[in-house]
Chains A and B, each alone.
Chain A
Amino acid sequence: MILNMDGSKPIYLQIGEWLEREILNGNFGSDQKIYSQYQLAELFTINPATAAKGLTLLAEENILYKKRGLGMFVSPNAKEIIINKRKNQTLKKLVIEIVMESERLDVSKEELIQMINDVKTGEAGE
Chain B
Amino acid sequence: MTAAVALHIASPTRSASTDEPVVVRWLLIALALSFLTLFLFVPLATVFYEALRKGVGVYFNALQEEDALSAIRLTLIAAAISVPANLVFGVAAAWAIAKFEFRGKSLLITLIDLPFAVSPVISGLIYVLLFGAQGWFGPWLQAHDIRIIFAVPGIVLATTFVTFPFVARELIPLMQAQGSDDEEAAVILGASGWQTLWRVTLPNVKWGLLYGVILCNARAMGEFGAVSVVSGHIRGMTNTMPLHVEILYNEYNFAAAFAVASVLALLALVTLAAKTFVEWHFGHENRTNIQEQET
A interacts with B: no
List B residues at the A interface (Cβ < 8 Å): none
